[in-house]
Structures are given as C-alpha cells and as structure tokens.
Amino acid sequence: MSVMQATSLAFQTSCEWCKTVRAAVTKPVISLYRGILLGRQLHANYRVAEQLAGRGDYRGMTVSEVANLINQQTI
C-alpha cells in the first residue's frame, strides 16, 4: 500500500466517523431547539391571550380559551 493510498483510506475513515458523530449529535440538538421554540411560542400566545380575553371578538372568553384559539392558528 502506498503512502497516498494509506492517507486516502485514513481520510475516508475519519470522514465517516465525523459524519456518524455529527448525526448522533444533531438529532438531539434539533429536538431541544424545537422544544425551546415551541415553549417560547406558547408563552407568547398566552401573553397575547391575556390582552385579548374579554375584548372585541373574544368577549366572554377566558384567557385559556383565547390561548387555545391562538395556538391552533400558530402551531
């Protein structure tokens, strides 16, 4: 085996290892990130619902009811 062949084999092996590690790390991080985004959106929707409850089109509705309507439209 020449030096060039050995170097190429080592590079291919290390690249496959990097791809495997990246895939193993990426999935949990993406799930965590999506969870954070969802939590922030739900919190923002609740804050808006606090302002809208009992007013205008939402007269007679509780904050939770308004928040559920907003959640259905945004999530």
pTM above 0.75, yes or no: no
Q: Where in the sequence is the domain holding 50, given as residue range(s)? A: 3-74
The answer to whether the CB of 29 falls within 8 A of the CB of 55 is no
Burial of 18 (0-12, 13-18, 19+ CB in 10 A): exposed
Q: What are the CA-CA distances from residue 21 to residues 1, 7, 26, 27 (Å)?
A: 28, 21, 8, 11
pLDDT tens profile 25-66: 888 999 999 999 999 999 999 999 999 999 999 999 999 999
Domain count, the chain: 1
The answer to whether the CB of 41 falls within 8 A of the CB of 35 is no
